[in-house]
Chain A
Amino acid sequence: MENFTHVSIDFFPFMVMVVLFFNCKKTITGPLMKDPFGVLAMLTLFGLVVDDIAWCLSGEEGTAAYAFGIFFNMLYFLIDVMLAFYWIRYIWFELHGTDIVRSRKVMIPVGCIASAYLVVLLSSPFTGAIFYLDENNVYIRGHYFIFSFIIIFASMIISMLIPAVHYLSEPSRATKRTCIYLILFNLPFFAGAVVQAIWSIWLLWPGASMSILIAFINIRNRQITSDPLTGLNNRNALSRFLKDRADHYDKQPMVVIMMDIDNFKRINDRYGHTAGDEALWNMADVMRETFGHRPVFLSRYGGDEFVMIKDYSGEADAKETVRQLRDALDKCNKSGRNAIQFGISAGYGVLDGVRNIEFADAVRDADDMMYDDKAQRREEAMPCL
């Protein structure tokens, strides 16, 4: 009955993981095992299944049950330590966009700990270090069980600390939001593990599966609000941003800066869509590099138009912002990173109020100014032609 209970508890988390797993294919491009989130989802699904199999085998009689019991329990202890490690990797990837598996500084100590653990685990059937099965094939914790326990809890604490520390040291609103999301993402797994360790109520894997659900929903959300080509915010995110302002009745005036790549149509027509896409990427990168760490809303508004929204502190500041962006783009053009060099026209309008109509006004002002700018730039460019 005890074993069966276990299956009953894991039933819902298991079904949730199956649903997420099948939907991952639509969400993640590329192989699942290469994606930091995909690996987590896989390990959690396996963990749930292996955990249940091991429980069902516990107390069954016979040599076969013993052999399978040893095998699945070992697999279980392997998966849960792997999960703890990949958990950190996922968090690091979300915050920094880099894969710690590629970094030697991390992999050498991790490799050492992992091999030591593996040796202890593999010797368990003979020494009973991590676990053993008694004469009735019932699972019993070994003397060095604490080894796996420490690894898991240490990883969890690291997983919690990374976003917490980052939150305190990071000025950008977007990154702060990511940190909060990561802390929330950690909570179910963490809480499940603590409850399981202290009260022996089996919530580790169900907790992990809820964390995976949070991550999955979050990935989907990001896809809804980001532009697939450049990774900047899209129109959806822009309306959400405006709605957010209206909801909080945030009357702090803001400046809406519109930018448009000069002769983008000609780049597309002459060099093909790939070249055009590349110009858009580079433009997005320049925007991110220049303003990404500040509380600024960056978005792709349409084909080759970009919109940036920031707090308004006078005309001079708005002009300065445009100038900074131009400088950064010039630098990028000169560095040869852009296969095709391009310029931008820009204009701005002041958003003073929270209603949609006021935003439309600001966009119209910015638009008008941008077209004047474009005309002027064309005149300046004429003598050269």
Chain B
Amino acid sequence: MLVNVSRYFQIDLIIILAMFILFINAVQSLPFSRSSSIIKRQILLLSILVVCDYTGWVLDGNPAGYAITLSWTADIVYFFLTVTVGGMWMLYTFNEAYDDEVFLDKVSKCAVGLPVAVSAVIDISSYWSHLVFYIDDQGNYIRGELFLAQYLISFVYLLAASAISYKAMKKEKNVEKRNRFQLLTLFPLIPIFGAVIQNYVNGVLTLWPMTAVGFLIVYINIQHEQISMDALTGLNNRRRFNQFFKDKFTDGRNSRNYYLIMIDVDEFKSINDNYGHISGDQILRMISSWFKAEFGKKTSFIARFGGDEFAIILQCRQDEEAYEMLEALNSTEGRVYKTGEMALRVTLSAGGAWFDEPAEQTPEALLALADARMYDVKRRHKREKDLKLPEVSEDAE
């Protein structure tokens, strides 16, 4: 008996510690949003659940009056949370898939609130009905008829969450987001796997440890998205670009499938200088959303390279596709962006290079080639502009 108690202590303590670490970090560093607040709550609920689980195990078979009262309380909370954690997980997935507050509100009331409330009533009424479990006079915990039902409700939620994210994955065009939904689709396998092992292998506790591991994976993934995103534009940042570019470089050298495009906003400096940083930032954001709309559909990786520079890695089979895109980017007509009351015509310069260019052996050299071609275009744009407007300001350099 004592061996068991200390074993549960060792297992549960570490889970609680891990959840505590995640929770503290989530409070300090996750951006303020609905999905982060759901995640924070989930982590907290799981910790409470593990504490209740542990309390139940420790007091099992203890006939003292206080022990029996405490067992009842801990076990009721435990079963209640088992259902709640599942329901909350579905809400989380739902929120990721459809960012719609009104809809979410309805779902959380009908599909989660109601069943959770019903199961809470059943849990509490177990005290008289012994439906889910009961504690006998000797303090022994005994399973009731509906014992399994609580777990099953939770699993149904997990499977529903899986279905929701699968549907979202099928619809999603953005590669990064698709990966996230793929993870969310597979997530329920982790706790279910844990439950199956715990059920069939005697004396092994895996259900809650596996659930905690699942949360850890999801949490790390959220952090990873934060690390690889550019805060201003929502595109991939330079860090992610370097990684992606290096990963694909070796693949790409063997096939003419990847095309790197470097893009620079013409005379961005003068926009910043003349209209201020706020307008400059706004224009960068608008250009980014144009990129997302225009090139997001194709298999492409779009990143903000630096201040006013962008990089796109395009995966395409035909050369024409790439050249058409380059043409569209380099159009001397440019596009008109409205910021405040002003409308500005902004042109871009873009230069591209195939991954299998024979002379460029390293990623750096390939980047420099695309860069050099981009500057050729930029000079051409400048000459054309100078012909039209001889009095161009010298800030434009």
**A residues with CB within 8 A of B:** 1-2, 4-5, 8-9, 11-13, 15-16, 19-20, 23, 26, 29, 188, 201-203, 206, 209-210, 213-214, 217, 220-221, 223-225, 228-229, 234-236, 240, 263, 265-266, 269, 272-274, 276, 302-304, 360, 363-364, 367, 371
Contact = CB atoms under 8 A, between A and B. Distances in A.
Interface of A is mostly: helix
Nearest to B7: A5
B227 interface: yes
A246 B206 CA distance: 43
Interface in B208-225: 209-210, 212-213, 216-217, 220, 223-224
B318 to A, nearest CB: 29
Contacts of B15: 12
A12 B7 contact: no
B29 interface: yes
B364 interface: yes
A224 B205 contact: no
9 contacts: A1-B203, A11-B209, A15-B210, A201-B6, A210-B17, A265-B269, A272-B368, A303-B308, A371-B273
A273 B371 contact: yes
A213 B21 contact: yes
Interface in B1-15: 3, 6-7, 9-11, 13-15
Contacts of B307: 302-304
A62 to B, nearest CB: 25
Contact of B364 (A29, A274, A367): A274
Contact of B220 (A23, A223, A274): A23
Contacts of B217: 19
Nearest to B367: A273
A13 B25 contact: no
Contact of B10 (A201, A229, A234, A235): A201
Interface of B: 3, 6-7, 9-11, 13-15, 17-18, 21-22, 25, 28-29, 203-206, 209-210, 212-213, 216-217, 220, 223-224, 226-227, 231-232, 237-239, 242-243, 269, 273, 276-278, 306-308, 364, 367-368, 371-372, 375, 378, 397
Contacts of A19: 213, 216-217, 220
A234 B11 contact: no
Contacts of B364: 274
B198 to A, nearest CB: 10
Q: Among B10, B203, B213, B231, find the residue whose CB has the most chain A CB atoms closer than 10 A.
A: B10
A148 to B, nearest CB: 22
Contact of A303 (B204, B223, B306): B306
Contact of A23 (B10, B224, B237, B269): B224
B397 A263 contact: yes
Contact of A234 (B6, B17, B231, B277): B231
Contacts of B7: 5, 8-9
B86 to A, nearest CB: 20
Q: Among A2, A19, A234, A235, find the residue whose CB has the most chain B CB atoms closer than 10 A.
A: A19
A210 B15 CA distance: 9
A243 to B, nearest CB: 9
Contact of B227 (A5, A11, A223, A272): A223
A250 to B, nearest CB: 17
